[in-house]
Amino acid sequence: MGLLYRAADALRRRSLQHDHGRLGEDLAHRYLTRHGCTVIARNYRTRSGSGEIDIVAWHGTALVFVEVKTRQTDEFGEPSRAVDPEKQQRLQLAARDFARRAGTPPECMRFDVVSVVLERAPRIEWIRDAFGRG
């Protein structure tokens, strides 16, 4: 099965070589699933267009809102550093919208960041509870 995943990754990399964000989200989705998350939405956008969440998943009893940051290399630092306070605020607004629609109380929400570096063997780091509910 590992060989099949490696072959699929090679094909995906070739077809998405200029779309690092999409490739990173695909890798993060698979990584989170392998680590016990149930992904329920990808690229969720609010009706107003004011925010987007890359991945929404259940991890145990927590509704997790995941921001995926992808870079070709870590030459200028870890990709997760790009989740600044302004980005966090937009994520929190979109998450509150999603949670309200899903009927999930705020205390069950969590914000994670998945950092993907697209080296020869992609490096993935999952930062749980990366920032507060705001």
Question: Across 10-19, 33-42, 43-52, 72-81, which has the greatest mean pLDDT?
Answer: 33-42
Supply angle C-alpha 56, 117, 119, rounded to 5. Answer: 140
48 assigned to some structural domain: yes
For the cut 90, the answer to whether the pLDDT of residue 114 exceeds it is yes
85/88 Cα distance (integer angstroms)? 5
State the residue range of the domain holding 119.
20-131
The total of structural domains in the chain comes to 1
For the cut 90, the answer to whether the pLDDT of residue 55 exceeds it is yes
Task: Report residue 16's pLDDT band, with 50, 70 and 90 as the boundaries.
Answer: very low
* CATH number of the domain where residue 112 is located: 3.40.1350.10
Say how many residues make up the chain.
Answer: 134
pLDDT tens-digit readout, 73-105: 887 778 888 899 999 999 999 999 999 999 999
